[in-house]
Amino acid sequence: MKLHLIILLLISVILFSSAQSRAAGFDLTLQWDENTEPDLATGESPRYKIYYKAGSSGLGIKSNFIGLPSSEPAMGKEGASPVKVTVAKDENPDPWIVQFTLHDLDDAQTYYIAVTALDGSGNESDLSQEISTATPSHNNTGDNDGDGLFDLMDPDDDNDGMPDDWEMEFGLNPLVNDARSDPDSDGVDNISEYREGSDPLYADYAGKAIPIFPANGASNTVLSPVLQLQGYSQIQATTPPFTQTRWQISSSRDFDGSPILLDITSSMAFDEIQVPEFVLKPDTLYFWRAMYIDPSVIGTRWSEISSFRTTNINPLDDHGVYKGQAAASETVDLDDFPGLDTFSAQYRALNTVVGQGMIGMKTPPGVVIEALQSIDPADIPDTLNKPENMTLGLIQFRLTGAMGFQPEISIFFSRDLPENVSWYKHDSINGWMDCADRIEIVGPREMVVTLEDGGPGDADGVANGIIIDPSGFGDALSGAPPVSSSATGEGGCFIGNLLE
């Protein structure tokens, strides 16, 4: 566990005072963001510890909290610090929010609270930032939502997540929890309108996508899952039209502040799309969202963020080559330089699953081959403009480098290239693409391929320092004239399978 992370993850602690009348005092409910470390404690082991004390700050030092409060009435029903919180004691059903209530606190005190996280071995993080609260008897005016802050000092008097100033700007009632109301009947509730900066009284957006698979919080998800939304036909009848669906995956819930791992827009697959191989890694937590787009409406709206964790089964060997396919170092000579080839992070080779051949790949300095796999073209069901005679099949790879990098990759083959050769890529959005303009034949068994992070053929669709590419050589197609790539609006790879 990264013991400092709880400081970053504890974005907010929300305090609620109970409306009950108690002789001993009042109840205080705390909420914080779930820690996303994979080794967070589970089962009966303490997952978090709450440190609290009355009267003065703990100054960020655990020892200043331990054993306090030492006696009633300042001590709550749960006892002195630290109070242990297991999975079973989490009061909030939301998997990303933790909630716990301290009962029977002294209503004549100000309390100071901080939280830590623990891993399965009992290692404990540093304290979160400390929060404090004035309890109900300290109020000298009304407290509409009973949160311990009198209304004159409370920016959200109904505790519905929307500031009073924003609610009054749009004529909503700041004293009534109307977060889930939808006065403009556009299928988007008030709290979502507030978060996305839109007008809650004007239906100016295309319908909001609803993720359904993988289910939020799913585990053991395959490495190339199909992302699914609630059926387009169900939404189409009640919302403005849309012509595209945009899909994003990130390793963080904060899509705006973290690298995007997948960002593709489909003009045909409204409801589902398969994540390309090698975008995801094993045993990793991911977050995804989608939105419908139509040029005829003013805005677009992201779905709620959904999460899943991938399977811990890794199909790659220690060198990043698909298990069972790797060529042994210093046993072959594919690059035509004197001596047998020595493989490294910049030079890998594999045995092809078709054609009984071998393919080697060499990258320039600073570009790492993280994953490499041979693919049988017969395993790709899309046959429209599929090239013939891909005698060594395709190779799927993941390269990493600087953001927006454009490497020239040397590809070596164990047999001579055909005279009428081209280089083909395939992805689920554009289908088969002829990338003859991206290659240079430099020898009978060698070509140089120019790639572009986020450019044509990069299957993750975004300049993020990662290139995902399934491609291979085959006989050049004849017939229909090439069509410029619609994915970028620029030159590069010709698309055979247009989605309109």
pLDDT in tens, 346-357: 999 999 999 999
Least confident of 163-167, 172-176, 392-396, 424-428: 172-176
Q: Do 488 and 359 share a structural domain? A: yes
Contact status, residue 425 vs residue 457, Cβ threshold 8 Å: yes
Last residue of a domain, one of 257, 287, 310: 310
Q: What are phi and psi of 165, to 5 degrees?
A: -60, -40
Tell me what pLDDT residue 223 has: 96
Q: Do 146 and 280 share a structural domain? A: no
Q: Do 295 and 351 share a structural domain? A: no
Count other C-beta atoms under 10 Å from residue 453's C-beta.
22
475 is a domain residue:
yes
Q: CA-to-CA distance for 301 and 299, rounded, in angstroms?
A: 7
Last residue of a domain, one of 137, 152, 167: 152
Q: CA-to-CA distance for 492 and 430, rounded, in angstroms?
A: 13
376 is a domain residue:
yes
Q: CA-to-CA distance for 181 and 437, rounded, in angstroms?
A: 54
Tell me what pLDDT residue 389 has: 83
Q: Do 352 and 463 share a structural domain? A: yes
Tell me what pLDDT residue 488 has: 33
215 is a domain residue:
yes
Tell me what pLDDT residue 478 has: 47
Q: CA-to-CA distance for 204 and 223, rounded, in angstroms?
A: 37
Q: Do 126 and 236 share a structural domain? A: no
Q: Do 489 and 423 share a structural domain? A: yes
Contact status, residue 413 vs residue 352, Cβ threshold 8 Å: no
Q: Do 354 and 285 share a structural domain? A: no
Strand segments, DSSP code E, in 254-400 are 260-266, 272-274, 285-293, 301-302, 306-310, 347-351, 358-362, 368-375, 394-400
160 is a domain residue:
no
Tell me what pLDDT residue 19 has: 39
482 is a domain residue:
yes
Contact status, residue 492 vs residue 452, Cβ threshold 8 Å: yes
Contact status, residue 252 vs residue 287, Cβ threshold 8 Å: yes
Helix (H) or strand (E) holding 115: strand 110-117
User: How is residue 415 written in tokens?
Assistant: 């047999």
Q: Do 351 and 491 share a structural domain? A: yes
The CATH number of the domain where 31 resides is what? 2.60.40.10
Q: Taking CA 480 as the corner, what is the angle to CA 274 and CA 434, rounded to the nearest 5 degrees?
A: 50
Last residue of a domain, one of 256, 290, 310: 310
Tell me what pLDDT residue 52 has: 94
Tell me what pLDDT residue 349 has: 93
Q: Do 146 and 82 share a structural domain? A: yes
> For 231, what's the count of Cα atoms within 13 Å in the CB-facing half-sphere?
3
Please enumerate, as own/partner, the contacts of 331-340 that have beta carbons within 8 Å and a separation of 24 or more. Answer: 332/358, 332/360, 332/414, 334/358, 334/359, 334/360, 334/412, 334/413, 334/414, 334/445, 335/360, 335/362, 335/410, 335/412, 335/446, 336/412, 336/443, 336/445, 336/446
Q: Do 367 and 303 share a structural domain? A: no
- Given a cut of 80, is residue 197 above it in pLDDT? no
Instruction: Tell me how many domains the chain contains.
Output: 3
Q: Do 353 and 278 share a structural domain? A: no
Give the residue with greater pLDDT, 57 vs 283.
283
32 is a domain residue:
yes
386: confidence class by pLDDT, cuts 50, 70, 90? confident
- Given a cut of 70, is residue 183 above it in pLDDT? yes
User: How is residue 481 written in tokens?
Assistant: 């004239």
12 is a domain residue:
yes
User: How is residue 239 written in tokens?
Assistant: 């919302």
pTM for this one? 0.60
Least confident of 197-206, 208-217, 411-420: 197-206
Contact status, residue 370 vs residue 400, Cβ threshold 8 Å: yes
What domain range is 414 assigned to?
A: 347-495
Q: Do 490 and 364 share a structural domain? A: yes
For the segment 222-249, the average pLDDT, to the nearest whole number, is 74
24 is a domain residue:
yes
For the segment 291-304, the average pLDDT, to the nearest whole number, is 70
